[in-house]
A and B are shown apart, each in its own frame.
Chain A
Amino acid sequence: MIIKNKAVVSDDWTILRLSENETPESVTVPAGKIIVPLKVWQAQRATLQNRAELGVWLASNERPEELKGEMEKFAVIAVDFPKFADGRGYSIAYNLRARLGYVGELRAIGDVLRDQMFYMQRVGFDAFAPRPDKNIHDALKGLTDFSETYQTSLDQKLPLFRRVKRDGIATAGSAND
């Protein structure tokens, strides 16, 4: 099960992670719907590109520009969060969407938790694979943590000050509205 388009749905993709004794060149990519590491895609592009359905995932230290010109080959692009405190994935997602124009499924994988999902959604993720030990229905609630946002991001092109006419006169309790 994953969260996609703000709902819990079943999912039949498998994420391939290399074990210690495997290399991108040598690993056997199983048949079926597989999300492969970027390095595996780059090492086995010649055979993998003929697959009907393929996904790719980026590690937090990899650059989204490496997929430039190839993004249409993938049914899903995933970004791995090795731990929730590693925030590089947010800029990877933003750059994939805003600078590289990726419009397909963008999935957050790894240490994906309820408290971070509102932010992830804002920078362009539309699919989330919450950590398996967490309740996915609880995690779903994270997407509605806030009803309003100050700043621009992928989901909201206009900052609050260009969308909402706000009163400029200070009244008690309103300075932080």
Chain B
Amino acid sequence: MIKLEETPDLLADLATVEMHGIQTSGNCIRNITSDEYAGVAADEIIDPRPYAEILRQWSTFHPEFAYLPRKFKIAINGAAEDRAAIAVHDIGLSVLKNEQGEIGFRVLVGGGTARTPIIGSEICDFLPWQHVLTYIESIMRVYNQYGRRDNMYKSRIKILVKAIGIEEFRRQVEADWADIKNGPGTLTVEELNRVAAYFTAPAYETLPANDPGVALYKTENKAFANWLQRNVKPHKIPGYAVVVLSLKKTGIAPGDASAEQMDVVADMADRFSFGELRVTHKQNLVLADVKQSDLVSLWKEAAEHGMASPNIGLLTDIICCPGADFCTLAFARSIPLAKMIAERFDNLDFLHDIGEIELNMSGCVNACGHNHVGHIGVIGVDKKDGGEWYQVSVGGAQGNDAAIGKIIGPSFNFQQMPEVIDRLLQVYVRERLEEELFIDTVRRIGMAPFKECVYATPINAEDTVDKDAYGFISKPDNYTVQRKSRF
């Protein structure tokens, strides 16, 4: 824990490594987020990072938009597959090439989760890249003037867009934009090139597309083969791979890394990935530029330090908020629940059989665990009886087919939750067509069969195990859940 008077020293230290905390809080334009595989993804159309940096500079200390109705988040994707969750951001940008080969953005506005989950609406299907700053300036100006300020729960841009409709919102933005379109805020090729020069490729070696050592070791070592299948992603440069280090080892809070692990990872980044490390919104780490010929030794080191669970994209790759163990806003604990579920399904063959599925969990309505866009979403709810209750949704998704999950019915208590997940999976296994993913089965057959199975017979709700047995986080003696109405 940092003492307040140490903060200047901490910020000064961060500045020495080009990091800062500017606009990471407050009702301003927060830092721009993007694809965790940006610049290296095999399916990338345009590298989104230069645009993200240009937007970051533009938004930094913007004089007119520092005191918005509420915080404001912009995400940008440049690949065929959206990995930046652009549909649930205040503004979501997708870099595209049109038929003439020109580069531009599809612009979504008014997406978000929390109390009012909404998929963003398309305000512009193709905005030539030169106009991105002025167009967003106009979106911000309309929002700054007309976004609600009387109720902080209704002050995000999604509420404004929903209230007046996307057509009227677009009309107001275009009316404002008419005055600044083609003005001096218009981006130049020189500036784009200047910023893009900071995101040049590292010194890749010329390598064969597929490393024979990897192919051989894969046949000898099942554990390595599993890891390769789940945690290694295609790279656009022959002979290289993208490696996801799993921070989802069963028994560890999702996304947690110890100081020792962080030292190990920093060292691995230096030796295996040109000194670069990325953090993902799915709570894992990415080494983006790994030589395939290094994969075996990297895997061994990662495994030795508990970061090679072959579960990326599987049931135990749970996105989870801190929950009531740490957060004063939470209604219920989420980390011990994640642990209990991960332990129940901690069988690799079963996990691989279930295949790709996203289980996202939040301890309260603020939805920091992205529950609305989880294929299965779990959210702690306030039932005024002091107990821990959870609502379950199915059918949510992030990415290209982003959707908000639907609540299946009345809530469950802590002890019932693993059985609820089990029953949902039983329906999937019973109903799935060959190779069909959980989310696709939900989309094909709808929610009804899942609901029917989960509520068919009572689930034992008894507190059969001492709650503290799950609470691997030691709580202070005077621990109580205090709720503040900050959000």
Looking at B63, B69, B145, B185, the one whose CB has the most chain A CB atoms below 10 A away is: B63
Known: A90-B66, A91-B64, A153-B63. 18 other contacts (CB 8 A): A85-B27, A85-B67, A87-B67, A87-B68, A88-B149, A90-B144, A98-B179, A118-B63, A149-B63, A151-B57, A152-B183, A152-B185, A153-B64, A159-B133, A161-B191, A168-B193, A168-B194, A168-B195
Q: Is A45 an interface residue (CB 8 A)?
A: no
Please name all residues of chain B whose beta carbon is closer than 8 Å to the beta carbon of A167 when the two chains form the complex.
194
A150/B63 in contact, CB under 8 A: no
Known contacts A122-B63, A152-B185, A159-B185; is A87 also within 8 Å of B144 by CB?
Answer: yes
A159/B184 in contact, CB under 8 A: yes
Partner of A176, one of B18, B27, B185: B18
A-B pairs with lowest CB-CB distance, top 4 = A87-B67, A122-B63, A168-B194, A119-B63
B61/A150 in contact, CB under 8 A: yes
Residue of B nearest to A84 (CB): B67
Residue of B nearest to A158 (CB): B184
Please name all residues of chain B whose beta carbon is closer than 8 Å to the beta carbon of A175 when the two chains form the complex.
18, 198
A87/B188 in contact, CB under 8 A: no
A161/B188 in contact, CB under 8 A: yes
Give Cα A121 to B61, complex, Å. Answer: 13
Residue of A nearest to B193 (CB): A168
Give Cα A70 to B229, complex, Å. Answer: 70
Q: Is B190 an interface residue (CB 8 A)?
A: yes
Please name all residues of chain B whose beta carbon is closer than 8 Å to the beta carbon of A90 when the two chains form the complex.
63-67, 144
Q: Is B1 an interface residue (CB 8 A)?
A: no
A173/B184 in contact, CB under 8 A: no
Total contacting residues, chain A, CB less than 8 A: 38
Please name all residues of chain A whose beta carbon is closer than 8 Å to the beta carbon of B191 when the two chains form the complex.
161
Which residues of chain B from 389 to 420 have any CB-CB distance to chain A below 8 Å in the complex?
none
Which residues of chain A from 11 to 30 have any CB-CB distance to chain B below 8 Å in the complex?
none
Give Cα A150 to B65, complex, Å. Answer: 14
Q: Is B162 an interface residue (CB 8 A)?
A: no
A151/B179 in contact, CB under 8 A: no
Give Cα A123 to B64, complex, Å. Answer: 7
Please name all residues of chain A whose beta carbon is closer than 8 Å to the beta carbon of B68 when the two chains form the complex.
87
Q: Is A46 an interface residue (CB 8 A)?
A: no
Known contacts A151-B58, A161-B194, A173-B18; is A91 also within 8 Å of B63 by CB?
Answer: no
Known contacts A152-B184, A161-B188, A173-B18; is A87 also within 8 Å of B198 by CB?
Answer: no
Q: Is A86 an interface residue (CB 8 A)?
A: yes
Q: Is B465 an interface residue (CB 8 A)?
A: no
Q: How far is the CB of B321 from chain A (nearest CB, A)?
A: 26
Which residues of chain B from 153 to 201 have any CB-CB distance to chain A below 8 Å in the complex?
179, 183-185, 187-188, 190-191, 193-195, 197-198, 200
Known contacts A123-B63, A159-B184, A175-B198; is A91 also within 8 Å of B57 by CB?
Answer: no
- Can you list 8 contacts pairing A with B, beta carbon distance less than 8 Å? A87-B65, A90-B66, A118-B63, A119-B66, A161-B187, A161-B188, A168-B193, A170-B200
Partner of B60, one of A150, A158, A173: A150
Q: Is B278 an interface residue (CB 8 A)?
A: no
Please name all residues of chain A whose beta carbon is closer than 8 Å to the beta carbon of B133 when the two chains form the complex.
151, 159
Give Cα A87 to B145, complex, Å. Answer: 8
Give Cα A25 to B190, complex, Å. Answer: 57
Give Cα A151 to B59, complex, Å. Answer: 8
Give Cα A162 to B133, complex, Å. Answer: 14
Please name all residues of chain B whose beta carbon is closer than 8 Å to the beta carbon of A122 when the two chains form the complex.
63-64
Known contacts A99-B179, A150-B61; is A166 also within 8 Å of B184 by CB?
Answer: no
Interface flags for A132-146 (1: CB within 8 Å of B; 0: not) read 000000000000001
Looking at A86, A99, A166, A168, the one whose CB has the most chain B CB atoms below 10 A away is: A168
Interface flags for B1-44 (1: CB within 8 Å of A; 0: not) read 00000000000000000101000000100000000000000000
Residue of B nearest to A119 (CB): B63
Give Cα A103 to B412, complex, Å. Answer: 63
Q: Is B218 an interface residue (CB 8 A)?
A: no
Q: Is B483 an interface residue (CB 8 A)?
A: no
Give Cα A118 to B62, complex, Å. Answer: 10
Please name all residues of chain B whose beta carbon is closer than 8 Å to the beta carbon of A86 when the two chains form the complex.
67, 149
Please name all residues of chain B whose beta carbon is closer than 8 Å to the beta carbon of A157 when the two chains form the complex.
184
Give Cα A157 to B180, complex, Å. Answer: 11
Residue of B nearest to A115 (CB): B66
Residue of A nearest to B150 (CB): A61
B184/A88 in contact, CB under 8 A: no
Residue of A nearest to B199 (CB): A170
Q: Is A57 an interface residue (CB 8 A)?
A: no
Q: Is A52 an interface residue (CB 8 A)?
A: no
Please name all residues of chain A whose beta carbon is closer than 8 Å to the beta carbon of B432 when the two chains form the complex.
none
Q: Is B141 an interface residue (CB 8 A)?
A: yes
A146/B61 in contact, CB under 8 A: yes
Please name all residues of chain A whose beta carbon is closer than 8 Å to the beta carbon of B187 when the two chains form the complex.
161
Known contacts A88-B144, A91-B144, A173-B18; is A119 also within 8 Å of B57 by CB?
Answer: no
